[in-house]
Amino acid sequence: MARRVGSDGARTEAAIREAALRLIARIGYEALSMRRLAGEVDLGAAALYRYFPNKQAMLFSLLKCHMDELLSAWDAARPARSVPARQRLEAFTRFHIRHHLPRAEGVFLSYMELRSLTPQNFAVIEAMRRRYESDLAEILEDGAGAGTLAAAHPRVKARAIIAMLTGITTWYRDAGPLSPRDVENIYWNMVARMAGIEVKEVA
Amino acid sequence: MARRVGSDGARTEAAIREAALRLIARIGYEALSMRRLAGEVDLGAAALYRYFPNKQAMLFSLLKCHMDELLSAWDAARPARSVPARQRLEAFTRFHIRHHLPRAEGVFLSYMELRSLTPQNFAVIEAMRRRYESDLAEILEDGAGAGTLAAAHPRVKARAIIAMLTGITTWYRDAGPLSPRDVENIYWNMVARMAGIEVKEVA
DNA sequence: ACTTGAATTGAACGAGCGTTCACTTAAACT
DNA sequence: AGTTTAAGTGAACGCTCGTTCAATTCAAGT
């Protein structure tokens, strides 16, 4: 019954979002009741409706924020199109890993719970996903055009790369033997080879 | 109300499993009620309990069958260890795609609904998954030992390859422009490159 | 025609669901 | 000190959930 002192709606909302992310990742959206979520942050269930109009809106908000963060972070990190495709591909690879590794729960959610969204909400998230994927495909296409990357079927390759990179979050653990930097290097090595870039084996 | 004529428990059970697979893949295990599942096969909800002791056992049965099928199919298809690693890697890649492409719903289920399993049931499925993954890792290790494959970090690489290949089921459509054989070729090209095998671009 | 036994039903159980609402608390402002 | 307003409560609503069970249907065996 540790009730927070002082009124700070913003902090409370953050705590709710955090708990929701964690619980939905662990047990799933449908399995998570508003009562349990509220209990996790020491509130009555009714109090949640001060922060979200309903359960679906809460899920959508979580997924939308996840994608907003991803797209704006990538917008800030992406190299200009004048940069050679090889370097842009490396930048994408390292960015994707660096961004997703500390967000395993959000990643999990944002493609396990797509089916729990209403069609309209789903369409919004799906469009954002496609935009991100297209950015990678563009890099591969540019490299193929310039003859610096082996990128036949760039859209298929883009999906393959993203699936491979995103899969890291299903096994990576902070306490494990590999540092984030190690993971970056190992995966960049694989992506580079996939794109026909000659690279040395990583230690 | 098209009631089946004649009593054929086996056929009914198959219909239930099929409907369950389809519906859980679409809306999720928690979101699927026994009443709705029963309705889909023109039964009352109570009738389902003749085929499965409870809902959890049904889910487990579906996932267990999926993994049994995978492992026994791979046992039948896997090349002997005396075969060069490069060919075994190609065999694995083509097998994985060929086996999974027509089983998109089962694939989806069998790693979206892992969290809906009880701990004991989860442990069973997880062990089967690891066995499959280890088989691929062994191929990479053998190739690294023989100097024919670039396979530093074989366990990481095995996970990367499986994530990449399994991801196909999220976008592949029968009506799409690529035949299963096309997909096999494109992905084998990528896997081969990842493993340091020199291959030509696929058309 | 009669019996058997598997298949299936409708009704019911207690529990939990998302959500609403009138009401209380407590912080902030004048 | 008194007013305003945001934050949170507890009870309730209507509904659906997984599951059980006595009763019934119906194909098959005699």
pLDDT tens column, A42-77: 999 999 999 999 999 999 999 999 999 999 999 999
How long is the CA A47 to C1' D11 vector, in angstroms? 14
Contact A166 B163 (CB under 8 A): yes
pLDDT of residue A27: 97
Q: Rounded to 5 degrees, what are φ and ψ at B4?
A: -65, 140
Asked if residue A133 has pLDDT above 60, the reply is yes
Instruction: Using the CA of A52, give the nucleotide whose C1' is nearest.
Output: C19
Q: Under the phi-then-psi rule, with left for phi > 0, alpha for psi from -120 to 50, and beta for the rest, what region is B196?
A: left
pLDDT score at A175: 97
Q: Which of A103, A113, A127 is CA-nearest to residue A31?
A: A113
Q: What is the pLDDT of residue B4?
A: 40
A3 to chain B, closest Cα gap in Å: 31
Residue A123 CA to residue A116 CA, distance in Å, equals: 12
DSSP A102: G
DSSP3 helix / strand / coil % (chain B, rounded to 5): 70, 0, 30
A101, A169 in Cβ contact below 8 A? yes
Listed by range, residues with Cβ under 7 angstroms from strand D are: A 4, 7, 9, 12, 38, 42-47, 50; B 5-7, 32-36, 45-46, 49, 53-56
Confidence class of residue A10 from pLDDT cuts 50, 70 and 90?
confident
Nucleotides of D under 7 A from a protein CB: 6-12, 16-22, 26-28
Looking at the partner chain, which of B28, B156, B162 has a beta carbon nearest the beta carbon of A116? B28
Q: How far apart are CA B156 and CA A190, in angstroms?
A: 11
* pLDDT of residue A120 exceeding 70: yes
Bases along strand C below 7 A from a protein CB: 6-12, 16-22, 26-28
Q: How much is the pLDDT for B7?
A: 53
Nearest CA among B102, B116, B27 for reference residue B70: B102
Radius of gyration of chain B (CA): 20
A162-181 pLDDT, tens digit per residue, is: 999 999 999 999 999 999 99
Structure tokens at A85: 């495709």
What pLDDT, on the 0 to 100 scale, is given for residue B1? 33
Q: How many CA atoms lie within 13 A of B91 on its CB side?
A: 19
The answer to whether residue A6 scores a pLDDT higher than 60 is no
> What pLDDT does residue B2 have?
33
A200 falls in which pLDDT band (50, 70, 90)? confident
On whether the CB atoms of residues B63 and B77 are closer than 8 A, the answer is no
pLDDT tens column, A77-113: 999 999 999 999 999 999 999 999 999 999 999 989 9
Global pTM value: 0.94
Binding residues for strand C (Cβ < 7 Å): A 5-7, 32-36, 45-46, 49, 53-56; B 3-4, 7, 9, 12, 38, 42-47, 50
pLDDT of residue A203: 74
Please spell the DSSP secondary structure of B138-172, one letter per residue.
HHHHHHHHHTSS--SSHHHHHHHHHHHHHGGGGT-
Residues A132-148 have a mean pLDDT of 98
* Burial of residue B143 (number of CB atoms within 10 Å: 0-12, 13-18, 19+): buried
Low-confidence residues in chain B, pLDDT < 50: 1-6
Distance CA A20, CA A108 (A): 13
Neighbours of B87 (CB within 10 A): 12
Model confidence at A1: pLDDT above 90 = no
For residue A123, pLDDT over 50 is answered with yes
pLDDT in tens, B40-85: 999 999 999 999 999 999 999 999 999 999 999 999 999 999 999 9
